[in-house]
Amino acid sequence: MQPVDILILSNGPGELATWVRPVVRRLRENLGDDREKVRISVVLSPCTHATGKEAAIALSYPEVDRVQGADHFLKFLLWGKTAENWEWRDRGVVVFLGGDQFFAVAIGKRLNYRTVVYAEWEARWQGWIDKFGAMKPEIIAKVPEKYADKFTVVGDLMADVSQEGKQESYTASFLLSPELIGLLPGSKAAKLAQGVPLCLAIAENIHKQRPQTQFVIPVAPTLDLSTLSRFADKQQNPVIELVKGSSAKLIVPEPPELPYFKTEAGLRVQLWTRSPAYELLSQCSLCFTTVGANTGELGALAVPMIVLLPTQQLDAMRSWDGLPGLLANLPVLGSSFAKAINWIIMKQVMKQGRLYAWPNLWAKSQVVPELVGRLQATEVAALALDYLNHPEKLQQMRDRLQSLRGQPGAAEKLATLVCQELGVIG
């Protein structure tokens, strides 16, 4: 086979974990591990949800050969030059897995490569893209007949998360707990400042009533333990008092014991640093999470969740899309914009019932609870206890989540489309 390049275009941490990771795995399975024949590159575009460590995450995938971070994307888009002056083989495919679909058009034309786009909700630039892998048939129903042959229903990449989890093997003793609750406070400082102490306080309240319950924080791959621990420290996180949260000390015992937080009340909250933590999450009876990609992953795993949007610190949420997100992240003035934007948005949320968790957006109704406002740990814990004391309610939520996502296999079908565009299979 003539040497080829596969260029993956992506952007945020959610897309990397749930789209890029399974697709590059299937590509390597189908095309082999000979890097002289098949090279896989990842180029990241800017994303308001980014943490700054996306390039390192992509490079940690063994199937990927080289990665360029979002800081250098504009130059590459305009002039076709990467920061490290990559050379490109004569034959290749650009695969869109996050960002703006126009990027695939522009970069595909510049490199003279075929283009494959994963269309989760809509398909744009139909006249210029070579192949679309659509999540649902409804996307194809909107397409003009002359472009219909470009489309294949591949299914839901997010549904492959459940399959990814089955490939991991964990032996941590706390997984044997009859009742495990996951705490997912986020990965960005603004969310962690509220989320960590609030989740710890919720856990303490639950533990008082159900001492058999164990708790775990799956640590985001973009975080290190010392950084995470600062948000549980009263001396370093003034928001703890604002949210009436709990503080904790980081304990790092000798291996093979896992690190953990020990709260002032003596509760131990395990810290899980292996990523992705799908097998761990699938063992949870219930999870508390902030908005974002976590809700999509939990939904794909059919794990019941309670979504928290505390508003005590109004400038905490700076990850809105489009112009609001750009304004909220401006230097100096960003905090003021964030407070104003979030005040307006939160009023709309509480008035109109606007939804933000991915499972609720998929269903267009509230499948999982979204709690918005000046959240109090005791009230949130009371809701959780009602679910835990009535397991049939958790099962109903689990069944509804399961029904929302498609069958696994989208990554394999999308990889097949790429192979077809390379002429490897018919």
pLDDT digits (tens, 9 = 90+) for 183-213: 999 888 888 999 999 999 999 999 999 999 9
Q: What is the pLDDT of residue 50?
A: 77
User: Is the per-residue pLDDT at 236 higher than 80?
Assistant: yes
Q: Which residues of 378-389 are buried (b: 16+ CB within 10 A; e: fewer)?
A: eebbeebbebbe
Amino acid at 221: P
The whole-chain average pLDDT of the chain stands at 87
| 250 contacts 233 by C-beta, under 8 angstroms | no
- C-alpha to C-alpha distance for 1 and 395, rounded to whole angstroms: 50
Q: Are residues 57 and 182 in the same domain?
A: no
| SS3 label, residue 270 | strand
Q: Is residue 161 part of a domain?
A: no
- Above 50 in pLDDT, residue 324? no
313 plus 275 within the same structural domain: yes
207 and 150 in one domain? no
Does one domain contain both 41 and 105?
A: yes
Rounded mean pLDDT of 337-365?
Answer: 68
Contact present, 308 and 288 (Cβ < 8 Å):
yes
Distance from C-alpha of 272 to C-alpha of 217, rounded to nearest angstrom: 6
pLDDT at residue 322, rounded to an integer: 46
150 & 191 share domain? no
Same structural domain, 388 and 418: no
| Separation between Cα atoms, residue 303 and residue 85, nearest integer Å | 44
Q: What is the CATH number of the domain that holds 129?
A: 3.40.50
| Enclosing H/E stretch for 231 | none
For residues 317 and 400, state if they share a domain: yes
Specify if 185 maps to a domain: yes
> What pLDDT score does 342 carry?
56
Q: Residue 162 falls within a domain, yes or no? A: no
Q: What amino acid is encoded at 62 in this protein?
A: P
Residues 221 and 127 in one domain: no
Q: What percent of the chain has pLDDT over 70?
A: 86
The reply to whether 244 and 111 lie within a common domain is no
Question: Which pLDDT does position 318 carry in this prediction?
Answer: 46
Tell whether 165 is covered by a domain: no
Q: Does the pLDDT at position 316 exceed 50?
A: no
pLDDT for the residue numbered 153? 94
- Same-domain check for residues 238 and 346: yes
Instruction: With 0.85 as the threshold, say if the pTM is over it.
Output: no
Please indicate, yes or no, if residue 292 is contained in any of the structural domains. yes
Looking at residues 276-293, what average pLDDT do you find? 90
Is residue 167 in a domain? no
Count of domains forming the chain: 2
* Residue 166 resides in a domain: no
Quick check: 305 pLDDT over 70? yes
Instruction: Report the CATH number that the domain containing residue 245 is assigned in CATH.
Output: 3.40.50.2000
Whether the predicted pLDDT of 65 surpasses 60: yes
Least confident of 105-109, 184-188, 401-405: 401-405
DSSP per position, 167-228: T-----GGGG-SSEEEEE--SSHHHHHHHHHHHHHHHHHHHHH-TT-EEEEE--TT--HHHH
Mean pLDDT of 27-50: 93
pLDDT at 413: 96
- If asked whether residues 373 and 306 sit together in one domain, one would say yes
Domain span including residue 278 = 173-404
Q: Determine if the peptide bond prior to 46 is cis (ω within 30°).
A: no
199/308 same-domain check: yes
Beta strands in 54-128 (DSSP E): 66-68, 91-96, 114-119
pLDDT at position 274, please? 87
**In this predicted structure, what is the pLDDT of residue 245?**
96
Query: Would residue 160 count as lying in a domain?
Result: no
Mean pLDDT, range 345-357, rounded to an integer? 63
